[in-house]
Amino acid sequence: MSVEAWGQIRSNPKFQTFVKKRNRYSIIMSVLVIFAYFGFILLIAFDKAFLAQQIVPGGVTSLGIPLGVGVILFTIVLTWIYVRRANTEFDAEAEAILEESTK
Amino acid sequence: MNPLVTTLIAVIAIALIGFFGTAFGAGPDTGQTQQQATNWTAISMFAAFVIITLGITKWAAARTRSVADFYTAGGGITGFQNGLAIAGDYMSAASFLGISGLVFANGFDGLIFSIGWLVGWPVLTFLMAERLRNLGKFTFADVASYRFAQTPLRSFAATGTLVVVAFYMIAQMVGAGQLIKILFGLEYIYAVILVGVIMMMYVLFGGMTATTWVQIIKAVLLLGGATFMAVMVLLQFGFSPEALFAKAVEVKTGLAAATGKSAEEAAKAGASIMAPGGLITDPISAISVGMALMFGTAGLPHILMRFFTVPTAKEARKSVAWATTWIGYFYILTFIIGFGAIVNLIPNPGEYFVNGDLAKGLNGGGNMAAVHLANAVGGNVFLGFISAVAFATILAVVAGLTLSGASAVSHDLYASVWRHGNVDSDTELRVSKITTVALGVIAVLLGILFEKQNVAFMVMLAFTIAASANFPVLFMSVLWKNCTTTGAVVGGTVGLVMSVVLTVLSPGVWEATLGNPKGSAWFPYSTPAVFSITAAFVTIWIVSLLDRSARAQKERALYPDQMTRSETGVGAAEASAH
């Protein structure tokens, strides 16, 4: 039963475009996280002095701390942005395609 | 491979590592702790936790009738609940006590690990969460073996699961034993048996429903306790992080000056907690550790299993978003807690340090920073609370690990490989319960066997194996149409063997655990992840491309259907309709 439905869904050109669009979005988001994280790690490996400098001259807090906490917040925010779009826009689109393909 | 043989090999391999560790007199052990006076407040709070959670287990037992209830709570957990449970699985004693201890000792460096442990989550969300939910039923092997030959692929996935579970479990059991000596003032062996028995009751009677609720309760208590501590610390400084950091630098400078350093050196030592230090030395180790943490998350079987406890892909996505939020928030708290420990504990050596001597370190070892801080900001009752929560954390994580190990044996090895799927729900449930008992006994024995060992490397090893064996197989089988059974099994095995062998040959095990002279390690980096992950992916790719068998052709032809199901969830409905 499923096999037949899968075939019908796949033959709908809208499905192919949809999958491509959603995958591109997933990959862009993943690349953003990977860049942020490995960028941070490479800074630690190659330029410790950059992270060690004070944000405010005469203060104590180093640039590394807001950057590190920033990576944590960036990760959380990016996850919610993705989930929100996937759960509303993408799911609605997928449902419409499924309905159209299997009726 | 015969499933019994696979299980045996996994057990024997681990026992051997334990044996050799013991035989070769495992060097100086930083994990050893002194037993403290019996702490009745902590013990009674822990007893209350156990009574409440066993009550929940009784309630869950009435709802655990089928294998689906046992493995996945019947798919009836909401995204928000599952997010808390995932966070609970992830916020182990290692992350709470270990990271705050690391911040206490090195400041900024502690943050590097927190971030590494967090960034795997979004990648898991973006690329895998929904596909796992749409293709799987009970275990990640369901997903990885979807279009492949069941026997080889499930045998491999079950081995990967059991090895990861075993290393993770040893770290937890030994941690429990060491903790109970300090926190409750009880013998090591009591802790190990206590964890084994209570955990077995959760899993055996309440299955995934009980395990999930134990995790949720623990996560809420841990997040609540850590929030309280962080707020109390920030309160001391008018909620100004700058003032907290300034005081911490001042305290560390004073500490360095007291040990006989010149004013200039002392100032440098004080300021060093604000900057990356010696934890990450060479770029290869930095990238390698980063990759192990990032991709290991997406290969931990007890975490992957949680994606099958929610009813839809929508809820699966929501659960990781919540999990990421709680875990990220928790890591920010541990960072504040570590700094809070610097400013509260070091000025009071008489109370918190061995013989009141700063040079001798914290009572109970460096991992006790958060526990002592609990006493400093909340008094004895709050200390009891945090001690009980820390111990409950281990209990809950071990329960999750056992459930995932049991499902690998009963669902993947017994039902699918051994009986070729011809087995009814009752029989499979009985096998998983027998396995739970067996794993409980093995966990206790491993805890005893490894008592004197330095197991610090084992969590990292579990992540490295998860990243190098489980993750590449899962990723390629779901996303690459040309992947074949042979490619996946050979590539995954290469990743598994390389991560274990190279970890044993790395300085952390070869020198620190096996006691060989410094500089004699054959493999110079902290973790082999960058090499073992790459090797696994390349091997899967090459072997799959060279695979010209009829079976391979058939598997490639099945990809479009698999892709359609993984993208839409059509056909997956029956997986959660219990």
Of B29-33, B297-301, B477-481, least confident by mean pLDDT is B29-33
Which residue does chain A place closest to B328, by CA atoms?
A72
Which residue does chain B place closest to A71, by CA atoms?
B115
For chain A, the residue count is 103
Cβ <8 Å between B121 and A42: no
Q: Among A34, A38, A35, which residue's Cα sits nearest to residue A46?
A: A38
**B183's tokens:** 């926190």
**B336's tokens:** 């504040």
> Per residue, what are the HEC states of B345-372?
HCCCHHHHEHHHCHHHCECCCHHHHHHH
Q: Please check whether residue B570 touches A, CB under 8 A.
A: yes
**Distance from C-alpha of A31 to C-alpha of A78, rounded to nearest angstrom:** 11
Chain A: give the shortest CA distance to residue B244, in Å.
9
Going from the N-terminus, what domains does chain B have, and what CATH number goes with each?
Answer: 36-452 (1.20.1730.10)
Nearest to A9 among B112, B115, B564 (CB): B564
Chain A: give the shortest CA distance to residue B225, in Å.
21
**Distance from C-alpha of B243 to C-alpha of B187, rounded to nearest angstrom:** 41
**Distance from C-alpha of B292 to C-alpha of B317, rounded to nearest angstrom:** 23
Task: Say if residue B15's pLDDT is above 80.
Answer: no
Using a CB-CB distance cutoff of 8 angstroms, which residues of chain B are in contact with residue A86? Answer: 130, 317
Chain A: give the shortest CA distance to residue B11, in Å.
36
**Distance from C-alpha of B452 to C-alpha of B398, rounded to nearest angstrom:** 20
For residue B569, which phi and psi values (nearest 5 degrees)? Answer: 85, 0
Q: Please check whether residue B118 touches A, CB under 8 A.
A: yes
Cβ <8 Å between B321 and A29: no
For chain B, the residue count is 578
Using a CB-CB distance cutoff of 8 angstroms, which residues of chain B are in contact with residue A45? Answer: 280, 282-283, 286-287
**B161's tokens:** 């699961």
Mean pLDDT of chain A: 91
Q: Please check whether residue A96 touches B, CB under 8 A.
A: no
Residues 13-32 of A with CB under 8 A from B: 15, 19, 22, 26-27, 29-30
Of B25-29, B241-245, B290-294, B356-360, least confident by mean pLDDT is B25-29
Residues 236-265 of B with CB under 8 A from A: 241-242, 245-246, 249
Q: Among B399, B425, B436, which residue's Cα sits nearest to residue B173?
A: B399
Q: Please check whether residue B115 touches A, CB under 8 A.
A: yes
CA B272 vs. chain centroid, Å, equals 29
Buried b (16+ CB within 10 A) or exposed e, B556-569: beebebbbbbbbbb
Nearest to B275 among A52, A87, A94 (CB): A52
> What pLDDT, on the 0 to 100 scale, is given for residue A45?
85
Looking at residue B516, what DSSP letter applies?
A: P
B203 Cβ contact list (under 8 Å, min separation 6): B210, B211, B399, B402, B403, B406, B436, B440
Q: Please check whether residue A37 touches B, CB under 8 A.
A: yes
What mean pLDDT is predicted for residues B34-39? Answer: 72
Q: Please check whether residue B426 touches A, CB under 8 A.
A: no
Of B55-59, B153-157, B178-182, least confident by mean pLDDT is B178-182
Q: Please check whether residue A94 touches B, CB under 8 A.
A: yes
Task: Say if residue B473's pLDDT is above 80.
Answer: yes
Using a CB-CB distance cutoff of 8 angstroms, which residues of chain A are in contact with residue B280? Answer: 41, 44-45
Q: Which of B111, B132, B134 to mutate to test the interface with A (most CBs of A within 10 A)?
A: B111
Residue B16: band (very low, low, confident or very high) from pLDDT cuts 50, 70, 90 = very low
Task: Say if residue B41's pLDDT is above 90.
Answer: no
Q: Determine contact, residues B138/B72, Cβ cutoff 8 Å.
A: yes
Nearest to A44 among B271, B280, B294 (CB): B280
Q: Please check whether residue A51 touches B, CB under 8 A.
A: yes
Q: At what angle do helices B425-449 and B369-407 cross, to 10 degrees?
A: 140
> Per residue, what are the HEC states of B7-72?
HHHHHHHHHHHHHHHHHCCCCCCCCCCCCCCCCHHHHHHHHHHHHHHHHHHHHHHHCCCCHHHHHH
Nearest to A6 among B245, B280, B571 (CB): B571
pTM of the model: 0.90
Q: Please check whether residue A12 touches B, CB under 8 A.
A: no
Mean pLDDT of chain B: 88
Task: Say if residue A20's pLDDT is above 80.
Answer: yes
Q: Please check whether residue A46 touches B, CB under 8 A.
A: yes
Cβ <8 Å between A65 and B332: no
**Distance from C-alpha of B399 to C-alpha of B388, rounded to nearest angstrom:** 16
3-state SS assignment for residue B548: coil
Using a CB-CB distance cutoff of 8 angstroms, which residues of chain A are in contact with residue B274? Answer: 52, 60-62, 64-65
> What pLDDT, on the 0 to 100 scale, is given for residue B576?
43
**B420's tokens:** 């070729």
Q: Determine contact, residues B180/B27, Cβ cutoff 8 Å.
A: no
**Distance from C-alpha of B215 to C-alpha of B221, rounded to nearest angstrom:** 10
Residue B436: band (very low, low, confident or very high) from pLDDT cuts 50, 70, 90 = very high
Cβ <8 Å between A76 and B328: yes
Q: Please check whether residue A67 touches B, CB under 8 A.
A: no
Which residue does chain A place closest to B127, by CA atoms?
A26
B222 Cβ contact list (under 8 Å, min separation 6): B88, B91, B96, B330, B389, B393
Residue B10: band (very low, low, confident or very high) from pLDDT cuts 50, 70, 90 = low
Task: Say if residue B1's pLDDT is above 50.
Answer: no
**B414's tokens:** 């017994």
Higher pLDDT residue, B511 or B468?
A: B468
Nearest to B112 among A6, A10, A44 (CB): A44
**Distance from C-alpha of B108 to C-alpha of B233, rounded to nearest angstrom:** 17
> What pLDDT, on the 0 to 100 scale, is given for residue B246?
95
What mean pLDDT is predicted for residues B483-492? Answer: 96
Q: Please check whether residue B564 touches A, CB under 8 A.
A: yes
At B276-335, the pLDDT tens digits run 886 667 888 888 988 999 999 999 999 999 999 999 899 999 999 999 999 999 999 999
Q: Please check whether residue A68 touches B, CB under 8 A.
A: yes
Cβ <8 Å between B276 and A2: no
Cβ <8 Å between A98 and B568: yes
Chain B: give the shortest CA distance to residue A69, in Å.
7
Which residue does chain A place closest to B115, by CA atoms?
A72
Buried b (16+ CB within 10 A) or exposed e, B227-264: ebbbebbbeebeeebebbbbbbbebbbebbbeeebeee
At B80-111, the pLDDT tens digits run 999 999 999 888 877 888 889 999 998 998 88
Q: Determine contact, residues B543/B490, Cβ cutoff 8 Å.
A: yes
> What pLDDT, on the 0 to 100 scale, is given for residue B575?
46
Q: Which of A8, A32, A61, A102 to mutate to test the interface with B (most CBs of B within 10 A)?
A: A61
For residue A83, which phi and psi values (nearest 5 degrees)? Answer: -65, -40
Which residue does chain A place closest to B108, by CA atoms?
A65
Q: Which single residue is written with the structure tokens 């299993």? A: B305
> What pLDDT, on the 0 to 100 scale, is given for residue B425?
87
**Total CB pairs under 8 A between chain A and B:** 158
Cβ <8 Å between A2 and B571: yes
Task: Say if residue B6's pLDDT is above 80.
Answer: no
B54 Cβ contact list (under 8 Å, min separation 6): B198, B201, B202
